[in-house]
Structure 1
């Protein structure tokens, strides 16, 4: 139907155009453009609002709406049992009426789920792309499971709702009651849906396991939900999460947070639980890109575990000491190096910036290495080790380093590991000299050489660059 003010498009077409708005802010801007757009929206507010919500969330919109509409309360103190709890606010596939106060919550949750999908895709689907390349069906399975996990974590927080003790005996009535409620809630889903949920839970667990080193991740971390996992990925630590005492990671309140109810459901149904040896993406993905790829240097198989420019952020810098040989046992050196490296461990982007800096310092034997190529962890770790000292030396030269007298034995000097005076007064050689070179044949980095290093130009091969300790 053509609009009464002679707008050049039919109302139905205008309505569809408005429905393709990427977010509600854009929709509002479109409505304010002209009276024609405003009138069309006033005629079809529910249809247009739902279309925009679908654009933001995707086909998992029913699950996303349930997260923000669920009547949260402390079910342990309720007497109506677990069935009303699991049946509350069902996943309605009918046309929803989305209230204005729900739109911000939808967008916030969709942002969390979307970022986690990008991470999931990078780790499990295609290591070459930082943004999700999941198919429509794969994305729907992932997001549906993620929103259900989000709802579960909101209903069952990692601390008792009444503020009680999270460390309870196994036979405590409150603990048994909450476990029954968790089991009853998950029991509402079909077998394949539970398998998809368990697959996504394993993905969240891998984030906590690989992004922090304070202690072995437990169920209390999973109870922080998708938003907790995303914060852990972005900050590489658990520091800003509300979790139990680090000295007591096995708080009984969250022990077996997902495992216990899932095992009970599969046992009661007579179904075989997914094996821990199965790929965590088995129930989500239909295919994987680059699963048979090999290392560009040694040709060893690696698949998704290979490192390339798009996934440098996965390299475990915080779990390794990339200084060479005896240098990583030199107490006068490891402290300053750790202090210089720590800021680059704060986020995935900083880790990528650090490794990009190493590629800018490539030594002659690494001329053929390119950021876009793929490398196994052994080859890539050797590359990082062979360049981390150069990066550190560059940092110290920029701070005004004046190297002391050279150490004849260089970086493999064992005296630097136990003789503090030697470590402080001698310069550890960081390039192994050629055969036939005797004594202090290296070139100390000073004057012109320092300027060459800062500009990315290095002394001739076979000479020695020294690092002050």
Structure 2
């Protein structure tokens, strides 16, 4: 890149548009003019670094910076008092100062977490048809500003499994937590509350129950919420050094350090401000989103109302299914079928692989499903029925593709009960076929 002859102000300005620090580094290295301006102009490196960081993080940069600049991520007693000694976080303002290389790295990592969680938030709360966030700029700003504030809170009050302290200590800890949230105006605190609800919903969706240990899980912070979402299981968080003590998260709900981790400070603030608390049934989209797309949509096949809970190509990868349970009738109990089937589909536990696999099944549509399109939306019951009717077809074709020569079809096909308890029959006959006769005995 040549900047020969360009005014220095223009060279300076060009660098502020770099989308990443890698891009900035590249143009500084390949152009003497850019290198000279960055190194020698008064305040140039600081202002350019700030501009590039803004390009990466966006308008929530003040909150993001405040999070990485909070140095002590624990609370502690003083030597001679029950009082908790904590470092005050820097102010939330737009005077950023020089951003160190260490801060740049942490900001970029936190920005990646915030962006990934925004994608999850968008597909679950805004528009189920897109894996990538379709939040407006204002909606994105509200979401990320709240997310960085939650990151800071979890840094100030980590959910350490320390020994149970006395009541005075726990009470002061809760007062500190309330004070940390009380500095935000009510409208922004309601936005923060909505994002907390979103994080809680992540853990609920991974637990299979309406009452997972959300207090303890929320204390692990947004980055761990993302890690659990990507793994489709929050047990992966138990490898955190703060939580490795052979105690499941469920046991932590009785630890005073976790009880009311965020709910108690919220309740204290609503009472102090004499305002009605958010209703339990209010969605995580409230206070953050100006509009929800497809909230009143119905299943394209059965017209069942579902809105954002309907399944589309963008969220197939999150469909909660054990594929072996969807093999037709008695096929799921035939070891000749199931053993190689489980080996061939083990990789589908990875959410990134499940979505494309479901898409491939649409290419195998049987006559009864001619009107079903992969672009449409389906309720869980209809999508389950579609998978059940096509999974065995896929497995038959997959086995043949792998070199298997099918034996003669059993007259009772997938309904055959003999295939369950007579291995020789299961091996000798093909049961990946529709029944030609009634139930086998």
Q: Give the TM-score of the pair, scaled to structure 2.
A: 0.85
Provide the residue aligned with 2:217 in structure 1: 221
Q: Does the alignment pair 1:372 with 2:369? A: no
Distance across 2 between alignment mates of 1:248 and 1:49: 41
Are 1:344 and 1:353, in contact at CA under 8 Å, matched by a contact in 2? no
Flag the 1:320–1:70 CA change in 2: closer, same or farther, 3 A. Answer: farther
| Matched ranges for 1:49-448 at <5 A | 49-78=49-78, 85=86, 87-160=88-161, 164-165=162-163, 168=164, 172-211=167-206, 216-241=212-237, 242=240, 243=243, 245=246, 247=248, 249-251=250-252, 252=255, 253-318=257-322, 321-330=325-334, 333-334=337-338, 336-346=340-350, 348-403=351-406, 406-414=409-417, 416=419, 419=421, 421=423, 424-425=426-427, 427=429, 429-433=431-435, 437-438=436-437
Distance 1:256 1:339 in 2: 44
Let me know the Cα RMSD of the aligned residues: 3.0
CA shift, 1:58, in A, is 0.6
Query: Taking structure 1 as reference, are residues 274 and 384 closer, same or farther at Cα in structure 2, changes over 3 Å only?
Result: same
- Give the match for residue 464 of structure 1: none
> Residue by residue, what CA displacement relative to the aligned partner does 1:156-200 show, whole Å, maximum 9, x if unpaired?
22224xxx33xx48x644444433322222222222222111211
Q: 1:354 and 1:246 mapped to 2: Cα distance?
A: 36
Partner Cα distance (2:26, 2:393) in 1:
52
The equivalent of 1:450 in structure 2 is none
Kindly tell me: are residues 370 and 90 of structure 1, through their superposed partners in 2, closer, same or farther at Cα, counting changes over 3 Å?
same
Distance in 1 (alpha carbons) for counterparts of 2:230 and 2:360: 20
CA distance in 1, matches of 2:86, 2:366: 63
Query: Following the alignment from structure 2 to structure 1, what is the Cα–Cα distance between the partners of residues 367 and 326?
Result: 19
Structure 2 CA distance for aligned equivalents of residues 319 and 208 of structure 1: 22
Aligned partners of 1:195 and 1:335: how far apart in 2? 51
For residues 457-468 of structure 1, the aligned pairs below 5 Å read none
Distance 1:231-1:291 versus aligned 2 partners, 3 A rule = same
**2:31 is the counterpart of 1:38:** no
- The alpha-carbon deviation at position 239 of structure 1 amounts to 4.2
2:30 aligned counterpart, secondary structure: coil
Q: Which moved more, 1:202-211 or 1:405-414?
A: 405-414
In 1, Cα distance between equivalents of 2:12 and 2:99: 17
Contact 2:326-2:387 at 8 Å conserved across structures: yes
| Structure 1 residues 115 and 439: alpha-carbon distance in aligned structure 2, compared to 1, 3 A threshold | closer
Give deviations 1:238-290, integer Å, cap 9, x for gaps.
Answer: 34322465645141132332222222222233222211211111011001122
Aligned-residue offset at 1:333? 4.8
Give the SS at the match of 2:250. Answer: coil
| Structure 1 residue 340: Cα displacement | 3.5
- Secondary structure of the 2:315 match is helix
Please tell me whether the aligned partners of residues 66 and 89 of structure 2 are also in contact (alpha carbons under 8 angstroms).
Answer: no
Q: Could you list the runs of 5+ residues in structure 1 that have no partner in the other structure?
A: 441-469
Call closer, same or farther: CA 1:6–1:260 in 2, change over 3 Å.
closer
Alpha-carbon distance in 1 for matches of 2:130, 2:428: 46
In structure 2, relative to structure 1, the CA distance for the partners of 1:113 and 1:374 (3 Å cut) is: same
User: Taking structure 1 as reference, are residues 420 and 204 closer, same or farther at Cα in structure 2, changes over 3 Å only?
Assistant: farther
| Structure 2 unaligned blocks of 5 or more | none
